[in-house]
């Protein structure tokens, strides 16, 4: 009897020891390329979550987490596929925090993530195309789809009693995706879209675009463009000719550049952009400051959350195998369960080990909706008094 007890105790110990492993996690970001300025903070955010989990020693019986970083260049799909292939086949990562930009994310997901069976959680790819992609359950994102922004924008516009708008968008994937999703949502909710027309960035003159939009008419003009590009060219032309006085401005336009440029001329204009608020955001900010980077930098919080979600899902699934833990990602991200904020990952791991549910809130109030993307918190802003004012979150 004594022997049996001893043997089983030893067996338990052995089993425990065998469970601990070194888990490699990939980070795929555009460290060079057009978004190279915001990548470092995103990388640090993801590494912060990995370190926190690794140091706690509570992941899968004391497994450690090692980040492996790859540069996906953001614009070059081939380079991104090569980078993620290296992460998966040469480094043997169990999950990838990335990609960064919509185009390369789609490419690396379709050519590496899905066929190789590796979970990818993107912090920043917002194209609506990623909602409908056949990801076999391997892809998630902690940023909202622009399709969602279209819905939110349509609600805001209608709530302000504006029932007919003209839409102009910057002629690229971002602008087109957002303009289409807004136009669909707005029409479905009973609004009238008089015209949807593109403008090109960096052109000499926007009189033709403004003339066309003005002729189509509408109570407001939706400008899905960039604040330091054609978007403000169109606004300038519209203000000068009196074509429109009310502008609806989505994330690419909500920017202090616009305020400096137009000041009180935007008195009646309004808009929204994705932005987190609340306890989680503040805690992450403090953690980031301690770690020596700026937590308010774009998508840094989303990166922390993406990395944390994968590790928590592993714990919930009791396995670091991506084909197993992928089914747990939605579970740990959403209700029911104890709320987990940044800096509390150890607590989350403990609860999960004890078989309890958690609801990961994280830095950006994560709430994943089907098919595995953030529901998205948007802040509604207006420009009264020549300033950028936040009026609420939705």
Partner 1 sequence: MDMLNALVAILNFVVIPAASYGAQLALGALGVTLIYGILRFSNFAHGDTMAFGAALVILITWGLQAIGIGLGPLPTALLALPFGIALTAVFILGTDRVVYRFYRSKRSAPIILVMASVGVMFIMNGLTRLIIGVDEIRFDDGARFLVSVQQFRAWTGLSEGLSLRVSQALTLVVTALACWALFRFLNRSRAGKAMRAYSDNEDLALLSGIDPERVVRLTWLIATALAVTAGTLYGLDKSFKVFNYFQILLPIFAAAIVGGLGNPLGAVAGGFIVAFSEVAVTYPWRKIATYLGFEPQGLLQLLSTEYKFAVSFVILIVVLLFRPTGLFRGKSV
At 332, list the tokens: 């740990």
Cβ–Cβ < 8 Å for 224, 154: no
Q: Which is nearer to partner 1, 238 or 374 (CB)?
A: 238
Minimum distance from CB of 83 to partner 1 (Å)? 29
Minimum distance from CB of 33 to partner 1 (Å)? 17
Q: Which is nearer to partner 1, 108 or 238 (CB)?
A: 238
**Under rule CB under 8 A, residue 172 binds partner 1:** no
**Under rule CB under 8 A, residue 199 binds partner 1:** yes
**Under rule CB under 8 A, residue 316 binds partner 1:** no
**Under rule CB under 8 A, residue 176 binds partner 1:** no
At 244, list the tokens: 């429109």
Q: Binding string to partner 1 for residues 248 to 267, with x set by CB under 8 A, is what?
A: ---------x---x------
Q: Which of 372, 365, 364, 374 is nearest to 329 (CA)?
A: 372
**Under rule CB under 8 A, residue 235 binds partner 1:** no
Instruction: Please identify which residue in the block is written with the tokens 């463009």.
Output: 225
Return the residue of 152, 221, 243, 332 that touches partner 1, per CB under 8 A.
243
Q: Which of 177, 390, 187, 161 is nearest to 271 (CA)?
A: 390
Q: Which is nearer to partner 1, 203 or 289 (CB)?
A: 203
Find the part of the chain contacting partner 1 (CB under 8 A) among 90-98, 204-212, 343-351, 355-363: 204-212
**Under rule CB under 8 A, residue 236 binds partner 1:** yes
Backbone angles phi, psi at 33, to 5 degrees: 110, -170
Q: Which is nearer to partner 1, 262 or 383 (CB)?
A: 262
**Under rule CB under 8 A, residue 295 binds partner 1:** no
Q: Which of 262, 237, 257 is nearest to 168 (CA)?
A: 237
Minimum distance from CB of 249 to partner 1 (Å)? 17
**Under rule CB under 8 A, residue 164 binds partner 1:** no
Q: Binding string to partner 1 for residues 205 to 234, with x set by CB under 8 A, is what?
A: x-xxxxxx-xxxx----------x---xx-
User: By rule CB under 8 A, what count of residues binds partner 1?
Assistant: 31
- Residues near partner 1 (CB under 8 A) are 171, 195, 197-200, 202-205, 207-212, 214-217, 228, 232-233, 236-237, 240-243, 257, 261
């Amino acid at each position: 009897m004594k022997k049996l007890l001893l043997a089983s105790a030893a067996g338990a110990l052995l089993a425990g020891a065998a469970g601990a492993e070194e888990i490699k996690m990939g980070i795929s970001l555009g460290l060079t390329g057009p978004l190279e300025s915001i990548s470092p903070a995103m990388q640090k955010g993801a590494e912060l979550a990995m370190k926190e989990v690794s140091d706690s020693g509570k992941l899968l019986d004391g497994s450690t987490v090692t980040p492996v970083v790859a540069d996906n260049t953001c614009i070059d799909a081939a380079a991104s596929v090569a980078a993620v292939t290296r992460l998966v086949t040469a480094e043997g990562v169990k999950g990838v925090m990335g990609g960064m930009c919509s185009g390369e994310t789609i490419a690396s997901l379709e050519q590496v993530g899905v066929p190789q069976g590796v979970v990818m959680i993107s912090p920043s790819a917002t194209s609506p195309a990623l909602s409908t992609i056949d990801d076999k359950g391997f892809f998630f994102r902690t940023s909202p789809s622009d399709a969602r922004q279209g819905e939110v924008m349509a609600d805001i516009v209608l709530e302000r009693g504006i029932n007919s708008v003209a839409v102009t968008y910057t002629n690229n994937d971002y602008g087109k995706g957002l303009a289409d999703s807004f136009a669909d949502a707005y029409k479905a909710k009973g609004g009238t879209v008089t015209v949807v027309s593109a403008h090109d960035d960096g052109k000499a003159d926007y009189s033709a675009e403004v003339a066309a939009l003005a002729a189509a008419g509408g109570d407001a003009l939706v400008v899905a463009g960039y604040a330091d590009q054609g978007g403000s060219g169109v606004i300038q032309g519209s203000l000068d000719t009196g074509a429109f006085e009310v502008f609806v401005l989505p994330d690419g336009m909500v920017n202090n550049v616009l305020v400096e440029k137009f000041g009180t001329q935007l008195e009646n204009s309004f808009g929204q952009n994705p932005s987190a608020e609340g306890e989680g955001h503040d805690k992450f900010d403090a953690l980031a400051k301690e770690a020596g980077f700026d937590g308010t930098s774009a998508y840094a919080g989303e990166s922390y959350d993406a990395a944390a979600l994968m590790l928590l899902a592993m714990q919930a699934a009791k396995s670091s195998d991506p084909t197993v833990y992928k089914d747990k990602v939605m579970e740990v991200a959403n209700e029911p369960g104890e709320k987990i904020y940044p800096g509390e990952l150890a607590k989350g791991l403990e609860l999960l080990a004890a078989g309890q549910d958690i609801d990961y809130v994280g830095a950006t109030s994560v709430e994943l909706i089907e098919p595995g993307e953030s529901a998205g918190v948007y802040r509604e802003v207006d420009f009264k008094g020549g300033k950028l004012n936040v009026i609420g979150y939705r």
